[in-house]
Amino acid sequence: MPFLGVIYIYDAIAQQNIYTNFQTCNLLGYTSQQIAEMGADFITQIMHPEDLAQFPAHLERLRSSKQQEVHSFEYRMRHQNGEWRWFCSQDRVYSRTDDGSIKQILGVAQDISEQQAALRERKQIEENLRKSEERLSLASTAAELGMWFWDLTTDCLEWTEQCKKLFGLDADAAITYQLFFDILHPDDRDRTDAAVKQALANKSEYDIEYRVIWTDGSVHWIAAKGRGFYNQDGEPVRMMGTVQDIDRRKQAEGELVKINSILQSIISDTSSIIFVKDLQGHYVVVNQSAADFLGLKVEEILGKNDTDLFPPETAQSIRASDRQVIREGISCFYEEEIIDGETSRTLLTNKYPWRDETGKNSGVIGICRAAQSRLS
């Protein structure tokens, strides 16, 4: 294979090449006549100014070099089409003057433009990756997320500092899967380990909530998410994900359960009739007192409306008062007469708008007390 680089002899005293092979024309696009016309100005005219400024330092390294010692120099040269091409020269002193100064330099230069382009691309990728990692780090810090990375081939588990903090560990703590398993609450260990194995086996998302016990004995809730990564054979090779402290959410959920329990006790144990109806008039909540009033079971009332439970005129009257509460969005008091055969019963009813979490009307809430009298 022919050598595709430039071979040259540079006269350091005359500051010009006294010999170059034909590859100079091929690689830079200049004709022999154009190169000859530039003469001693060849290098200064086509070498990039930034690299030309570094050329004297390269000559100084050669001046102090040992016999046969080679020095490299990377620089840009302007192609005849105006494009800057990267070259790498391997130079050594070819001859010296009587006082030891450089007389001639023998060198070879190769076009490394493609390598430089690849290097720049790699550096750009690395820079983009660094910026992405910084953005991810900032985002995870802002969201108080910890991140974890698990190499399944080496069983190496890495946690970010925030991740360690959420598990009550020091920033320099060494992490292993066994340590993670030991920190888990005993009641959560088996299901957490099973969730990891299931996610890897099914190639599905890992999504679980568990408790961890810090070294001070305090218990904390963690929400963990992650996914596996697989080789060409479909075998899991690594896993990564996030963890987040959900103590506040769990505390709020506990308070909500407590409140719901209190409300349920009130609804179930009070002698007052309590009901909730949606916008279409269907009963979605009724207590036992309401069921006793109608002589039905609770489950026989749910999902039905007033036309299913009362005479037409009574149902129409009840529905009209419901619509007023929904339309005006305010609480109202009604005396509603329920006639059933020879019995007339009056319901003293307070009705309130039922609003969802956005404040939008979703139906009616009613609390009633019943009075009973006989028709003559």
Does the pLDDT of residue 7 top 50, yes or no? yes
Q: Do domains 6-111 and 143-250 have the same CATH topology?
A: yes
Which position has the token pair 């060494």?
A: 174
CATH of 143-250, one of 3.30.1330.20, 1.20.140.10, 3.30.413.10, 3.30.450.20: 3.30.450.20
Return the ∠ at Cα 239 (arms to 237 and 240), rounded to 5°: 150
| Rounded Cα–Cα distance for residues 209 and 257 (Å) | 18
The residue ranges of every structural domain in the chain are: 6-111, 143-250, 270-374
Q: Is 245 helix (H, G, I), strand (E, B) or coil?
A: strand
CA nearest 111: which of 51, 44, 23, 34?
A: 23
* Distance (Å, whole) CA 161 – CA 148: 10
Please give the model's pTM, rounded to 2 decimal places: 0.49
Most confident of 23-32, 200-209, 365-374: 200-209
Average pLDDT, the chain: 87
Condensed to tens digits (0 to 9), the pLDDT of residues 166-207 reads: 999 999 999 999 999 999 999 999 999 999 999 999 999 999
Fold for the domain defined by 270-374: Beta-Lactamase (3.30.450)
Tokens 């100084």, located at residue: 60
CATH architecture of residue range(s) 6-111: 2-Layer Sandwich (3.30)
3-class DSSP assignment, residue 342: coil
Instruction: Please provide residue 149's backbone torsions phi and psi, each rounded to the nearest 5 degrees.
Output: -135, 125
Looking at residue 40, the DSSP 8-state letter turns out to be G
Residue 225, pLDDT above cutoff 50: yes
Which of 64, 108, 71, 61 lies closest to 92, judged by CA?
71
**The pair of three-digit structure tokens given for residue 135, joined into one six-digit string:** 């953005």
The pLDDT-based confidence of 137 (bands split at 50, 70, 90) is: low
What does the angle CA 221 – CA 227 – CA 231 come to, to the nearest 5 degrees? 150
